[in-house]
Amino acid sequence: MALTLGILEGDDIGLEVVPECVKVMKEAAAKAGLAIDWRPTPIARKAHEQFGHTIPPGTLETLETFDGWILGPIGHREYPKNDPTWVNAHPVFRLHYGFYANYKPFKSYPNLPSIHKDIDILFLRETTEGFKVDGNLFKGYGEFMPVPGMAIGVCVTTELKSRLIAEAAFEAARLRPRRKVSAVHKNTVYRYGDGLFADECRKVAARFPDVEYEEVIVDTFAMKLVMKPQQYDVVVTTNLYGDILTDEAAGLVGGLGLAPGVNASDWLAMAQATHGSAPDIAGRGIANPYAMIMSGKMLFEWLALKRAEPKAAEAAKLIERAMDRVIAEARHLTADLGGNAKTAEMGDAVARAVTAA
């Protein structure tokens, strides 16, 4: 049976990089013999122009019938304020579909500028709890002001989500050569919340004796990540820490243009690059499609595991090898990577490399 994948372009450069991702994924799927039913789905500013809402009625229910989808960056900072028809899809999707696991890999390339070489780190960030108050409550908002001049934020940590993200991290580590997990927290200060997270990580670690395990206090980790990132393999952490540390990791390998990602529950996944919608360069055809294309590659990897589909695994390998080749040849890279290619030219080069593999 064909996999059903949605195409949600988002805003600004999303309209440019998502088509390149789909182009490469289609080429890889055809090469691997993987059948896909592609479903373009209106979202964000274009959806508001058509239907009067950034998440049109029925969208959430429709997406539930898919195996996964590609979501382009959302330019929600430019949306009108205090208008309920202009909604940022990110927290809505995380809460509605229970996307507790955010996978973000960071890899340095020998011929691309980066602060360090030989970096290969996968972050697993829990994304439905913690101090990120835009989506950590079932109803209401996790931040409030009881009196003027006083703001209170609620941190939510549960055994369930801590265990689930830890399990995802150890399962991912088993598929990597080094088989090492580093749990990042600050239970020295946040004894209940971070303490609970750390306890669940230790319980899960006991079930994976073949995976090396360590714990690192978050501020110490931030320092060590800058000094010697090569010592880390799989990193599991809570929502706010992960949000900050993954941007730091992106800076080490060359920027957010090299930062792909996948958000997942136990049954559904969404490919979503880490970078924003970059309205300042939108429409110029110069956006780097790397992060979006590699997010699509990660979606194939997730589908290979969760749907037991070996052809998806092969499609993912084809994309990774093709991207490695295009970067090594350095003839079709966008300006932020040291080249002068347009967005579509780099996408075309990766697609051709898939075909030639």
- Per-residue pLDDT tens for 262-273? 999 999 999 999
| Structural domains in the chain plus CATH codes | 1-97+260-357 (3.40.718.10), 114-253 (3.40.718.10)
Average pLDDT over residues 206-213: 98
Whole-number Å distance between alpha carbons of 131 and 311: 39
217 burial (CB, 10 Å; 0-12 / 13-18 / 19+) is middle
**Helical residues (DSSP H) of the chain, grouped into ranges:** 14-32, 44-51, 59-63, 89-97, 159-173, 193-206, 218-227, 239-253, 290-306, 310-329, 343-356
Burial 66-103 (b: 16+ CB within 10 A, else e): bbbbbbbbbbbeebeeeeeebbbbbbbbbbbbbbbbbb
Average pLDDT over residues 18-37: 98
pLDDT of residue 37: 97
Amino acid at 248: E
**Torsion angle, alpha carbons of 356, 108, 115, 334, to 10:** 30
Whole-number Å distance between alpha carbons of 174 and 171: 5
Q: CB–CB of 24/32 below 8 Å? A: no
pLDDT of residue 133: 74
With cut-offs at 50, 70 and 90, classify the pLDDT of residue 32.
very high
How many Cβ atoms are within 10 Å of 64's Cβ, its own excluded?
11
Whole-number Å distance between alpha carbons of 168 and 174: 10
Beta strands at 262-264 and 68-71: parallel, antiparallel or unpaired = unpaired
Higher pLDDT, 137 or 241: 241
